[in-house]
Amino acid sequence: MGDMIGTRIVLVAALAAAVLYLSGFLAVLTPLPILYVFSRLGRRAALKAGAIAILAAGSLYSLAVMKYGLDAASMVLPLPIIAFAKFLPPNCLIALGIFYLLSFIMIGGSIGDGFKKRVGIFKTGLSAMIAGSLPMVVAAAYCYAKAPAGMLLEVRAYFEQAVVSIAEINRSAGISGAPIDLLLDKSSEIASFALSIVPSIFFIYGLAVVAINMILGRRILIRRGMRGFGDFAKFRLPDALVWAVIANGTLFFANKYTTDSIMAGTVAVNGIISLLAMYFLQGIAVIAFVLRGIKKPALRMIVYIFIIFFFRTVSIAIVCVGLADVWINFRLKRLRGSADSA
């Protein structure tokens, strides 16, 4: 009876993961079913669920790409990665799509493993980021080797055209001025910069996927009577990580006023963006911790809604809070003695 229930859970989880992935918009939640299976039934069951999900979703994804190609990008629910059909041949697109699914599966398994072992938020998130990035690195290397010559130039031209289109849309809406003129005059430089920070954008996306699935997964599993991770409001990055921010900032300014190397500048900018994204999460944790002092849930909800609606304005402040927490430690009294500093 127990084996039958376990098999049913594995099949349902695999189907759920496949559906979430193929839905496009909900693809970021693909790790959740695998996380659940791993936490409840263990590694072997999670591997089975992941394999079934890859077989099912991978087959449908391959058929869709081969049959519809670029037209699949205009579907009501566009397939993941399908936007790259503009630049990649079908075989590369299929490989990228399947490895992208594998990345989600590995993220779910890593989070489930961390939840089961109770190794802490930081270590669990780090292992999930590493596990999720490995398939994408392999896929990127394969696509780069198989992609047609000049692909990066095509991507850059696409970015440049997008910048020009944004400026033209604003002008047609009656919006004009120096910012719009700047977009048109510097469209080439903006496109080059956008292409150069793609690694950090992917890092932020991966970080968001891991964070979302850890938060939702924790809620789901706690309701099932399972515990792990620790309290997200107590999440804290290792203090030594701030030196990486300082090092990247130093590299950026030193390079800017000395050699002005494109490679060094790209490394520094991507490093700074990626690290600040991590401190944004620490800032959110500090805010969540402080908001616990507000007894009325409605007021806490108003604060979170304010953050969402004015994200561009308050995001920098949240990053600053996360960085300041390294020295000030806003949660010191409560965190002292806590076993889960990660």
**Which residue has better confidence, 230 or 198?**
198
Q: What confidence score (pLDDT) does residue 306 get?
A: 83
Query: What does 193-239 look like in DSSP terms, one character per residue?
Result: HHHHTHHHHHHHHHHHHHHHHHHHHHHHHHHTT---S--GGG----G
Per-residue pLDDT of 145-161, as tens digits, reads: 877 667 777 777 877 78
Residues in the chain: 342
Residue 130 clears pLDDT 90, i.e. is over it: yes
Which residue type sits at 325? D
Per-residue pLDDT of 152-200, as tens digits, reads: 777 778 777 877 787 777 777 776 667 777 777 777 888 888 888 888 9
Q: What confidence score (pLDDT) does residue 69 get?
A: 62
CA distance 10 to 168: 51
Residue 72 clears pLDDT 60, i.e. is over it: no
What tokens were used for 202?
């992917």
Residue 206 — very low, low, confident or very high, per pLDDT cuts 50/70/90? very high
- CB distance 307 to 290 below 8 Å: no
Q: What confidence score (pLDDT) does residue 77 get?
A: 53
Q: What confidence score (pLDDT) does residue 25 get?
A: 80
- CB distance 73 to 41 below 8 Å: no
Q: What mean pLDDT is predicted for residues 216-226?
A: 74
Residue 331 clears pLDDT 60, i.e. is over it: yes
Q: What mean pLDDT is predicted for residues 5-21?
A: 89
Q: Which of 78-92, 98-112, 245-259, 301-315 has the lowest mean pLDDT?
A: 78-92
Q: What mean pLDDT is predicted for residues 319-336?
A: 78
Q: What confidence score (pLDDT) does residue 64 get?
A: 80
**CB environment 161-188: b (16+ within 10 A), e (fewer):** eebbeebeeeeeeeeeeeebeebeeebe
Q: What confidence score (pLDDT) does residue 342 get?
A: 42
What share of the chain in percent tops pLDDT 70?
88
Give the other-Cβ count within 10 Å of 319's Cβ. 20
Residue 338 — very low, low, confident or very high, per pLDDT cuts 50/70/90? very low
Q: What confidence score (pLDDT) does residue 243 get?
A: 93
Residue 334 — very low, low, confident or very high, per pLDDT cuts 50/70/90? low
- CB distance 99 to 138 below 8 Å: yes
Residue 337 — very low, low, confident or very high, per pLDDT cuts 50/70/90? very low
Q: What mean pLDDT is predicted for residues 315-327?
A: 90
Q: What confidence score (pLDDT) does residue 71 get?
A: 61
- CB distance 206 to 132 below 8 Å: yes
Q: What separation in angstroms does the CA of 276 have from each of 136, 233, 289, 319, 322?
A: 22, 18, 20, 6, 9
| Rg (alpha carbons) of the chain, rounded to whole number | 22
The per-residue pLDDT of the chain, averaged, comes to 82
Q: What mean pLDDT is predicted for residues 280-305?
A: 83
Q: What separation in angstroms does the CA of 307 have from each of 205, 213, 286, 287, 319?
A: 19, 20, 14, 11, 13
CA distance 229 to 35: 13
Per the rule left: phi > 0, alpha: psi between -120 and 50, beta: everything else, 231 is beta
Residue 268 — very low, low, confident or very high, per pLDDT cuts 50/70/90? very high
**Which residue has better confidence, 29 or 297?**
29
**Which residue has better confidence, 56 or 92?**
56
